[in-house]
Amino acid sequence: MRIEIEPGVRLFIDVEGAALVPAGPTMREKPTLLLLHGGPGWDHSGYKPKFSQLADIAQLVYVDHRGQGRSDKRPREEWTLDHWVDDVVRLCDALGITKPVVFGQSFGGTVAQRYLSRYPEHPARVILSSTSPHLHIQRRLAAIERLGGEGARRVAAAYWSNPTPEAAQAYVRVCLPLYARTPRPPDAQLRARIDLEITNHWFAGEARTLNLLPGLARAQCPVLVIGGEDDPVTPIEDQRDIAAALPAHLVEFHAFPGAGHGVDNDSEADFMALVRRFVQGSKDEACGHSRQFGPVAIPGESN
């Protein structure tokens, strides 16, 4: 469905699961998990069907950012981070959502980082997954070369230096397969509604001078930071920067060995167990910890 968040601006959303469920003589309210997709220029489809397994503990709200996916097309001057960030609050106001749990993957995590600094009292919790606070190109090029060789580095360098449509097509062909260690289902990309014009606009412009680290100190809620150690596009060092910039008593950081961009793909069971626990809230809030996760079991999760 499309929801009008301000006059003439509609975002596409999809809702999975009830917010209120019977609990004996009362109705129990589940948290709302707001899912912000990557890109920019992509859509929410990458979260389906995998995130459906969380619908028993939260009401899931899938969102296509302003101008992307199935949301209304919008003019280029609205393709800005602050528009996308403010839309999170506008959407919650339109739907009557208070204290959401906000999950941001990749570029969605970029939106969530700025949201933390602009609206620190708004979320109940925030999850930052495989995301960056800045465009540290040399880190990206080094990671891509390690995984794909000098040829992949040259293709990536050409794109990051000048994100033209031709360079983007080459990047998608050569570098995108390096993102995850576990091949994604072949139909996943076909299902997505992708607009590389928005992607190229972002990386040619606002992304180049972005630095979200100073604003992270304003966070007032628990924040879970997740990254894969073999991520070529948002290298694990970027997530370490994020974790170090957040208030120490609120942050929980997990690095997954052997996982690439989008830990949910390479370490799905461990990733989902971690997100599930964080959304529900652990007994001690599990804040102020930094952990390395193995490929099978999550150590220290028995409590």
Query: How does pLDDT run along the chain (303 residues), one tens digit per residue?
Result: 999 999 999 999 999 999 999 999 999 999 999 999 999 999 999 999 999 999 999 999 999 999 999 999 999 999 999 999 999 999 999 999 999 999 999 999 999 999 999 999 999 999 999 999 999 999 999 999 999 999 999 999 999 999 999 999 999 999 999 999 888 777 888 899 999 999 999 999 999 999 999 999 999 999 999 999 999 999 999 999 999 999 999 999 999 999 999 899 999 999 999 999 999 985 344 444 444 443 333 333 333
SS3 state at 35: strand
Token digits for 220?
């007032």
- Strand-pair partners of 27: 22
Which spans in 134-179 are helix H?
137-161, 165-174
Tell me if 228 sits within 8 A of 295, measured CB to CB.
Answer: no
According to the CATH classification, is domain 2-134+211-292 in 3.50.50.60? no
> Which residue has 């960056």 as its token pair?
132
Residue ranges covered by each domain of the chain: 2-134+211-292
Its pTM stands at: 0.93
Count CB atoms within 10 A of the CB of residue 30: 18
Token pair for residue 29?
């309210």
**Torsion sign, CA atoms 220, 86, 63, 60:** positive
Let me know if 183 is exposed, middle or buried by CB neighbors in 10 A (0-12, 13-18, 19+). Answer: exposed
* Closest listed residue to residue 275, CA positions, set 104, 61, 98: 104
CB atoms within 10 A of CB 166: 11
Phi and psi at 229, nearest 5°, equal -70, -15
Pairing mode, strands 125-129 and 289-292:
unpaired
Q: Say which DSSP state 5 is in.
A: E
- Strand 289-292: give its sheet, edge to edge: 2-6, 9-16, 59-63, 32-36, 101-105, 125-129, 223-228, 251-256, 289-292
The pLDDT of residue 151 is 97
Residue 158 token pair: 């050409």
What is residue 299's predicted lDDT score, i.e. its pLDDT? 30
Residue 164: CB atoms within 10 A of its CB come to 13
Q: Which residues pair with 22 in a beta bridge?
A: 27
Helix (H) or strand (E) holding 109: helix 107-118
What is the reported pLDDT for 183? 80
- Cα–Cα separations (whole angstroms), residue 135 to 104, 142, 278: 17, 13, 28
Is residue 232 within 8 Å of residue 178, measured between CB atoms?
A: yes
The answer to whether 113 touches 242, Cβ cutoff 8 Å, is yes
